[in-house]
A and B are shown apart, each in its own frame.
Chain A
């Protein structure tokens, strides 16, 4: 029974019909239509739905709308006054306080409430005020800078002159290099191009879109980990008023899909078997989401339960339950690689050490849940709005499953609230929504709940690693052998690539003369593991970094010194045939060494304090496309054999100049998911056009507008899409040169375009306005359009099986030092300080680079000490929520210094390489080493929890050796 209620929102009265059980967030979003208030978890764990009630921040998902009826409500849309942003909003723009933007409205409201209460807060007060707002992108550093900047806050939302000096970012040598004028601003920390929308609540995410006549779908997940689906009775659900249609396995195409073409093994909905708790069995569409949710409970499914296998070693054992007939002994992928002569290397070694390490189940947990809206146009075009990192692969996979040509699918990627690899695949939401929408002839929206996100999975593979290293007397690596069991979950997902990545990127950081890798990706009855930031590499990198430090300790060599002795050098072909070009790894080592005063601290700290080193690096874009051969024409096309060259460009751009020459519109399909690609691509394109970046607009969200780009994965966008946009810019300039030459009366070959002007090289006084030349071009020829494309170099990689994985035009490098305090009585770790120096080539936007590093530090530290998806013995997730799955809050995050070393990558645009994924890699090892340094015990299985530390300390105390040593002392 709905009641008409008047709400006072941002000073305006809104009278809407409310159900007594409606929570405030739903009324604000769906009825008042203010969508700046975000839904992240629904149960008060994330803070994305924070609004102010009478000036106090509350989670609007935990407030009944009726209880808010007599309060004054402030949402993010009410913070700017008459179009003038508040001081907090401005600071979030200028200080890098926003990335994906999904937490930003809540953050800004919490910060504003704090500043209203305490105009000059201490940093502890800021942290306390923001502890209820989770952020997965920024590492909270930019947010701390933003709020700290607003000291002396006034009630009108402005700041008086700061009463104390603003916190300044400690800049490294190559930061904020002076740009040549304002021009395209390559190398300059310009604010994100989307920041203004993100701080005001104007950024539109998929779930914020309300197409007329939309209906809502939900998917039923399996309650058991393994079993046959015997019978699905949907009659009761269909009878529920408001339910429009129900789908089961028999209603969906008999086409399997997935990521790696050789291992398509998923159906849209289970046809015969379920293989993990949450495996999709049936779907419902109804007039609203609530009804659809209720209908799921009315579907009766009869299962014949099978024994489940949850451990990769058990999965491989004789007689273990088999998940898929096609994967014998549950081996999904076996990697068997050997380079050089590993046994001879060990034979020549002075010291050999073998250790076993275990990783953890990490889930990306982007703040924005996956969401999709599908709608079909009358000409048979499918329009899909989806929260994805890979619009093209979604388009490709929809074409494959739905049996329609790629060209009949238009994918729109609205603002995406973070991905980290968790949105790098086509989801059952995309497919079910499209199928429902076709059936009903109206738009269908489907959104995962936080719990469903965990059950859908695709997080980091938990890896079980047996490593063996052989070194000479000086610590120089002679041989390295690894055996890794990857816990793959129930489907392939990215797993084939993951299994190869787990081995192939290790030799790009240190020189391995001999190297063997034996990898097994195993099927288990858990949600499929997929690709997560650092794809396959972070856990082996953690293990290797720990092992290298152990060896250094054994030999009495400083852990930084042993890294120097083994460090990768520029222009090296690795033992596994990865082609390393620019490499300033040594410089990053020297830089952290100096910055933290390593020699003054290492081995000299008081009990409970620790310092540790970790290093890492990653590919700047995968050398090959996920699918082989040419771009997909339709579903009928067969698989093509692997060729050692790119058969089509991986990144493509179009630039169109407005008819008056005053604006340039950049069209590229590269997916902005919060990492900042729209901004750096704008900068690079403007630079090559020779105009200020403020004249650019970027359209990256619509496949009808922008040409193909493979998307945001493998840290590929800066390098690959960067080339495409730069080339498109150059193409425009080339078209303009003859016209400029006419206007300037000179040879076209001596004209330069820069900062909105075209002039004679060496004599800038002989110039003409850029727009004037562009106008002339249009008047004579019509549209001024330039295109650019990028193909990775041909021939990357060796000839061995799996040689394509890990290939890249360029590699990044980084070194990090972590400083911790450990409470030796409880095992609790506080990560105090983190210092990172990176070789990301020449940075396009240093603030964006630091933002990636800061975010990676906190994500990496969080997964090292806190995060783990836990399962019971029936394969049920014990913590599919953000109060059980613990991610660092602002109170847990360390103080971070991010620095860059001078570097130039000849294969990158403007000398640039990647930063997004590589920045994760040094973190885990550095944290683990710092803890070992503080406690005297190595914890070799992640996460390094207080309980594990305490147990290890007790074991050490109780061991006979210690007792003997104590007796001697």
Chain B
């Protein structure tokens, strides 16, 4: 399995990257960690004449806290995300998802930007980032714009990035008080597994212990992570309980839009969704300091 003979370019600054994007054709691919793109190129799932490596673009690196909100440079590796002290506390759920991803060799290279921009249905970071209301920052010659992550992911392997754009950063707002989030996923094996189904939940408790807001995100069971609106609305305003979460799980089972493949049938994935929704909600409530009856 060899890489095809593509034209290979290295950008060291963002303006350089924009120039290269302009100069190369529309099929050009941007290379960050490469753990998806190199595999796709070797397997000939992706064909392109030009690859632009942005691994040396300093502006895309680093994690920072700004007024409580977290800004994660697109080139931040999954390991850096996992090990950053800035994630301790409120941003722990992101770390949970990071730790579940692939294996250390991949996490040492793969980037958060790549995990989003690849837009594969089973990616581990998008669901939890949606549940935590993250926003994606997109840089181009015209400056930086930002979109909520759920508007960034359009379809399987399709994002809001246009051919002149570079995903530059992800920001996660400071979680409000009594907020909790959790990511639960099911893989067929323990190490190096791909999510067969996954659920992220982000909830906020009201002072009376009821769920003031709830976002339940289903993943690997639809082309892009899907917010289970019905399930979310079932729990909203209610006191958390196993029974309530079971009903939410049942609603989410219907909201999922899974496919059947070698990892499991659509109906199995729906079953998993029903279970994972309950587990994610329970953990999120516990993280928010609430009790589940």
Instruction: Check if A132 sits within 8 Å of B188, measured CB to CB.
Output: no
* A20 CA / B31 CA spacing, docked (Å): 13
A23-B3, A58-B105, A129-B104 in contact; A947/B192 too (CB < 8 A)? Answer: no
Residue from B6, B31, B186, B191 in contact with A828 in the complex, judged by beta carbons closer than 8 Å = B186
Closest B residue, CB atoms, query A290 = B2
* A884 CA / B189 CA spacing, docked (Å): 11
Number of A residues near B (Cβ < 8 Å) is 57
A44-B35, A66-B53, A449-B1 in contact; A950/B271 too (CB < 8 A)? Answer: yes
Instruction: Check if A131 sits within 8 Å of B43, measured CB to CB.
Output: no
Q: Which of B139-147, B261-269, B280-288 contacts A (4 or more CB under 8 A)?
A: B261-269
Chain A residues lying within 8 Å of B4, measured Cβ to Cβ, are 21
Q: Nearest chain A CB to B42's CB is how many angstroms away?
A: 6
* A883 CA / B103 CA spacing, docked (Å): 12
Check A576 for interface membership: any CB of B closer than 8 A.
no
Chain A residues lying within 8 Å of B99, measured Cβ to Cβ, are 128
Residue from A22, A58, A110, A826 in contact with B275 in the complex, judged by beta carbons closer than 8 Å = A826
A21-B6, A56-B79 in contact; A132/B262 too (CB < 8 A)? Answer: no
Check B106 for interface membership: any CB of A closer than 8 A.
yes
* A826 CA / B188 CA spacing, docked (Å): 10
Q: Which of A148-156, A885-893, A924-932 contacts B (4 or more CB under 8 A)?
A: A885-893
Instruction: Check if A67 sits within 8 Å of B189, measured CB to CB.
Output: no
A21-B5, A58-B108, A59-B106 in contact; A866/B189 too (CB < 8 A)? Answer: yes
* A621 CA / B8 CA spacing, docked (Å): 55
* A64 CA / B10 CA spacing, docked (Å): 11
Chain A residues lying within 8 Å of B53, measured Cβ to Cβ, are 64, 66-67
Chain B residues lying within 8 Å of A63, measured Cβ to Cβ, are 34, 109
Check A38 for interface membership: any CB of B closer than 8 A.
no
Check B272 for interface membership: any CB of A closer than 8 A.
yes
A42-B1, A43-B43, A950-B271 in contact; A888/B262 too (CB < 8 A)? Answer: no
- B102-159 at interface with A (beta carbon < 8 Å): 102-106, 108-109
Check B38 for interface membership: any CB of A closer than 8 A.
yes
Q: Nearest chain B CB to A128's CB is how many angstroms away?
A: 7
Instruction: Check if B190 sits within 8 Å of A891, measured CB to CB.
Output: yes
Check B39 for interface membership: any CB of A closer than 8 A.
yes
Closest A residue, CB atoms, query B103 = A132
* A473 CA / B3 CA spacing, docked (Å): 66
Check A172 for interface membership: any CB of B closer than 8 A.
no
Check B217 for interface membership: any CB of A closer than 8 A.
no
Q: Mark B189-230, 1 if CB is under 8 A from A, else 0.
A: 111111000000000000000000000000000000000000
A21-B5, A59-B105, A66-B8 in contact; A132/B43 too (CB < 8 A)? Answer: no
Instruction: Check if A20 sits within 8 Å of B8, measured CB to CB.
Output: yes
Chain B residues lying within 8 Å of A64, measured Cβ to Cβ, are 3, 8, 31, 34, 38, 53
A42-B42, A945-B188 in contact; A870/B262 too (CB < 8 A)? Answer: yes
Q: Nearest chain B CB to A862's CB is how many angstroms away?
A: 9
A67-B34, A131-B191, A945-B188 in contact; A58/B3 too (CB < 8 A)? Answer: no
Residue from A67, A293, A945, A951 in contact with B2 in the complex, judged by beta carbons closer than 8 Å = A293
Instruction: Check if A66 sits within 8 Å of B34, measured CB to CB.
Output: no
Of residues B10, B31, B43, B109, which shows the largest number of chain A Cβ atoms within 10 Å of its Cβ?
A: B109
Instruction: Check if A892 sits within 8 Å of B189, measured CB to CB.
Output: yes
* A888 CA / B190 CA spacing, docked (Å): 8
Instruction: Check if A21 sits within 8 Å of B3, measured CB to CB.
Output: yes
* A661 CA / B42 CA spacing, docked (Å): 55
- A119-142 at interface with B (beta carbon < 8 Å): 127-129, 131-132
Check A45 for interface membership: any CB of B closer than 8 A.
yes
Closest B residue, CB atoms, query A882 = B192
Closest B residue, CB atoms, query A39 = B1
Q: Mark A424-452, 1 if CB is under 8 A from B, else 0.
A: 00000000000000000000000001110
Instruction: Check if A132 sits within 8 Å of B102, measured CB to CB.
Output: yes
Instruction: Check if A884 sits within 8 Å of B265, measured CB to CB.
Output: no
* A63 CA / B53 CA spacing, docked (Å): 11
Closest B residue, CB atoms, query A129 = B104
Q: Mark A815-843, 1 if CB is under 8 A from B, else 0.
A: 00000000001101010000000000000
Instruction: Check if A22 sits within 8 Å of B188, measured CB to CB.
Output: no
Closest A residue, CB atoms, query B34 = A62
Check B55 for interface membership: any CB of A closer than 8 A.
yes
Q: Nearest chain A CB to B54's CB is how many angstroms away?
A: 11
Of residues B1, B4, B275, which shows the largest number of chain A Cβ atoms within 10 Å of its Cβ?
A: B1
Chain A residues lying within 8 Å of B2, measured Cβ to Cβ, are 21, 26, 289-290, 293
Chain B residues lying within 8 Å of A41, measured Cβ to Cβ, are 1
Residue from B8, B79, B194, B271 in contact with A883 in the complex, judged by beta carbons closer than 8 Å = B194
Chain B residues lying within 8 Å of A890, measured Cβ to Cβ, are 191
Check A239 for interface membership: any CB of B closer than 8 A.
no
Instruction: Check if A879 sits within 8 Å of B275, measured CB to CB.
Output: no
A67-B53, A828-B186, A884-B262 in contact; A44/B6 too (CB < 8 A)? Answer: no
Check A50 for interface membership: any CB of B closer than 8 A.
yes
Residue from B5, B31, B35, B104 in contact with A57 in the complex, judged by beta carbons closer than 8 Å = B104
Check A47 for interface membership: any CB of B closer than 8 A.
yes
Q: Nearest chain B CB to A850's CB is how many angstroms away?
A: 23
A866-B188, A883-B194 in contact; A47/B38 too (CB < 8 A)? Answer: no
* A290 CA / B3 CA spacing, docked (Å): 8
Chain B residues lying within 8 Å of A50, measured Cβ to Cβ, are 105
Q: Nearest chain A CB to B40's CB is how many angstroms away?
A: 10
Q: Nearest chain A CB to B14's CB is how many angstroms away?
A: 18
Residue from A20, A58, A866, A878 in contact with B109 in the complex, judged by beta carbons closer than 8 Å = A58
Check A946 for interface membership: any CB of B closer than 8 A.
yes
Q: Nearest chain A CB to B291's CB is how many angstroms away?
A: 21
Residue from B79, B105, B265 in contact with A110 in the complex, judged by beta carbons closer than 8 Å = B105
Residues of B in contact with A (beta carbons under 8 Å apart): 1-8, 10, 31, 34-35, 38-39, 42-43, 53, 55, 79, 99, 102-106, 108-109, 186, 188-194, 261-262, 264-265, 268, 271-272, 275
Can you list 18 residue pairs at the A/B interface with Cβ under 8 Å?
A21-B4, A62-B106, A63-B34, A64-B34, A64-B38, A66-B53, A110-B104, A131-B190, A132-B103, A826-B186, A826-B271, A878-B262, A879-B262, A888-B189, A892-B189, A892-B190, A946-B188, A946-B268
Residues of A in contact with B (beta carbons under 8 Å apart): 19-23, 26, 41-45, 47, 50, 53, 56-59, 61-64, 66-67, 110, 127-129, 131-132, 289-290, 293, 449-451, 825-826, 828, 830, 866, 870, 878-879, 883-884, 886, 888-892, 945-947, 950-951
State the 8 A-B residue pairs at the shortest beta-carbon distance, nearest first: A889-B191, A132-B103, A131-B191, A20-B8, A42-B1, A891-B190, A891-B191, A21-B3
